[in-house]
């Protein structure tokens, strides 16, 4: 996309102001690319449908009536006022990072960029941070970008994470259908993860799932024997990495493939983000997803 600049995540991590970071990432993107999931009153004509009692008479297309002697109403696609809620996992495992930026920082900047971008789109933006419960909830609103960025800025200590309870809470709180983006490292069995996310889809939201992983979690580049400590449970395990590398990578790839399959089956957009990849890729993916948005209006 012309004008887009790929910004190194570690460079962004050195910038303190989240709004500035988000603006840096988003700057250059074209506004007005995606459609909201409901019919609205913008100028983009979508299609005709038969008049039904209760329809607004102002929307009847009188020219078509003159030609066909039947009542048809015009439907338009709304460009504005979609709800866009980002759910960010801030559990202990997200604090891991072998590069200049941890998964949490990456997810935080990614969330800020998506919110900023959606705000530029004149969408209502909201934010949820969670570990094993909802920690911070900023309801979607056209004026809540600053609250959301402030909430992202002051993420504090966290506990081990879990998806089911916080996402169920989010499903219950979101009354209006919109776009929900879940950012997490998804350390759980794929079926349980999918079960946790599906209620959002069943409620009619367009759900995108961004899976954030550090390169070391995918490639397992360790070579010295050591005791590995689980960041969430504190358990330790003696490991000789060189001997396990192949099996570990195969398990991770199988996990990713299974997640991809389950989410695709549920028509949930799924994307894997490596924290060494520039954040602009995330936005590209987001935009591409929105661009081929399903016909759910």
Partner 1 sequence: MSFLAPALLAALAAIAIPIVVHLVQRDRRRVVQFPSLMFLRKIPNQSVKRRAIRHWPLLLLRIAAFALLALAFARPFWPGAGAAAAAGAGREVVLLLDTSHSMAYGGVWARAQAAAKQAVSGLGPADRGTVAFFGSEVEVGVRAASERAALAAAIDRAAPGAGATRYGPALRAAAGLLEASALPRREIILVSDFQKSGWDQAQETTLPPGVSLRTVPVGEATTANASIVSLAFARQEAPGGERITASARIVNRSGTALQNREVSLEVDGHREDTRQVSAAPNGVETVAFAPFTIAGRPARVTARLAADALPVDDAFHAVIAAGGRIPVLIIEAANPGPDASLYLARALAVGNEPGFETAIAPVDRVTAEQVGAASVVILNDTRPPSGAAGRMLEARVRAGMGLLVAAGDRSSWPDDAPDLLPCKPGAPVDRSGTTGGALGFVDYGHPVFDVFAAPRSGDLTAARMFRYRPCAPAQGATVVARFDDGNAALVERRVDAGTVLAWTSSLDSYWNDLALRPVFVPFVHQAMRHLGRYADAKGWRVVGEVVDPAELTRGLGLGSGARGLALGASSDGKAAVTLPHPTVLTPHGNPLDFADPSRTTFTLTEPGFYEVRSEGDKPGEGAAVAVNVSAAESDLTPFNPAELSAAVAGSSEGAAAGAAQPLTPEDDERRQSVWWFLLAAGVVLLAVEAVVAGRFPRIAQG
- Token pair of 173, please? 């709180």
Residues 168, 198: Cα–Cα separation, whole Å? 10
Strand partners, 136: 129
The reply to whether 257 sits near partner 1 by the rule CB under 8 A is: no
Task: Give least dist CB 237 to partner 1, A.
Answer: 5
- For residue 25, the tally of other CB atoms under 10 A from its CB is 27
The secondary structure element, H or E, covering residue 153 is helix 145-153
The reply to whether 244 sits near partner 1 by the rule CB under 8 A is: yes
Residues 125, 137: Cα–Cα separation, whole Å? 11
Residue 147 or 241 having the CB closest to partner 1: 241
The reply to whether 243 sits near partner 1 by the rule CB under 8 A is: yes
Task: Give least dist CB 261 to partner 1, A.
Answer: 12
Residues 68, 55: Cα–Cα separation, whole Å? 19
Residue 67 or 236 having the CB closest to partner 1: 236
Residue 151 or 197 having the CB closest to partner 1: 197
Is 71 within 8 Å of 166 (Cβ atoms)? no
Residues 179, 198: Cα–Cα separation, whole Å? 14
Task: Give least dist CB 49 to partner 1, A.
Answer: 7
The reply to whether 54 sits near partner 1 by the rule CB under 8 A is: no
Place of tokens 């924290």: 275
Residue 106 or 116 having the CB closest to partner 1: 106
Torsion of CA 113, 115, 117, 122, to 10 degrees: -170
Residue 120 or 256 having the CB closest to partner 1: 256
Residue 138 or 166 having the CB closest to partner 1: 166
Number of residues that bind partner 1 (CB under 8 A): 54
**Rounded to whole angstroms, what are the CA distances from 156 to 81, 106, 131, 291?**
31, 16, 11, 35
Residue 51 or 150 having the CB closest to partner 1: 51
Residue 42 or 120 having the CB closest to partner 1: 42
Q: Kindly identify the residues of this chain, within the stretch 204-233, that bind partner 1 according to CB under 8 A.
A: 204, 214, 217, 222-233
Which segment (25-33, 80-88, 142-150, 181-189) binds partner 1 by CB under 8 A? 181-189
Which segment (23-31, 125-133, 245-253, 269-277) binds partner 1 by CB under 8 A? 245-253
Which of 10, 42, 169, 203 contacts partner 1 by CB under 8 A? 203
C-alpha closest to that of 103 among 180, 21, 186, 221: 186
Task: Give least dist CB 248 to partner 1, A.
Answer: 6
Residues 182, 249: Cα–Cα separation, whole Å? 24
The reply to whether 94 sits near partner 1 by the rule CB under 8 A is: yes
Residues 133, 81: Cα–Cα separation, whole Å? 28
Strand partners, 49: 73
- For residue 227, the tally of other CB atoms under 10 A from its CB is 8
Chain centre to alpha carbon of residue 10: 21
Task: Give least dist CB 273 to partner 1, A.
Answer: 15
Query: Which residues of the shown chain bind partner 1 in the complex (CB under 8 A)?
Result: 46-47, 49-50, 52, 93-94, 96, 103, 185, 187-188, 198-199, 201-204, 214, 217, 222-233, 235-240, 242-244, 247-248, 251-252, 255, 265-267, 292, 294-297
């Amino acid at each position: 996309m012309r004008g887009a600049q790929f910004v190194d995540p570690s460079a962004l991590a050195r910038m303190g102001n989240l709004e500035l970071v988000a603006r840096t990432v988003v700057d250059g993107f074209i506004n007005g690319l995606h459609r909201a999931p409901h019919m609205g009153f913008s100028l983009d004509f979508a299609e005709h449908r038969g008049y039904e009692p209760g329809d607004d008479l102002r929307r009847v297309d009188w020219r078509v009536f003159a030609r066909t002697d039947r009542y048809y109403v015009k439907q338009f696609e709304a460009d504005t006022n979609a709800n866009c809620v980002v759910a960010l996992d801030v559990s202990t495992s997200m604090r891991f990072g072998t590069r200049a930026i941890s998964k949490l920082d990456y997810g935080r900047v990614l969330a800020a960029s998506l919110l900023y971008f959606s705000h530029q789109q004149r969408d209502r933006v909201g934010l949820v941070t969670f570990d094993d419960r909802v920690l911070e909830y900023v309801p979607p609103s056209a004026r809540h970008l600053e609250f959301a960025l402030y909430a992202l800025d002051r993420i504090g200590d966290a506990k081990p994470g879990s998806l089911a309870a916080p996402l169920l809470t989010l499903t219950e709180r979101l009354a209006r259908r919109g776009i929900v983006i879940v950012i997490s490292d998804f350390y759980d069995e794929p079926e349980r993860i999918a079960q946790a996310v599906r209620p959002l889809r069943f409620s009619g939201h367009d759900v995108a799932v961004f899976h954030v992983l550090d390169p070391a979690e995918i490639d397992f580049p360790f070579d010295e024997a050591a005791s590995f400590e689980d960041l969430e449970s504190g358990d330790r395990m003696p490991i000789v990495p060189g001997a396990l590398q192949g099996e570990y990578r195969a398990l991770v790839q199988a996990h990713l493939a299974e997640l991809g399959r389950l989410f695709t089956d549920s028509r949930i957009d799924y994307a894997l983000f490596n924290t060494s990849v520039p954040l602009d890729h995330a936005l590209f993916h987001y935009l591409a997803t929105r661009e081929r948005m399903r016909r759910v209006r």
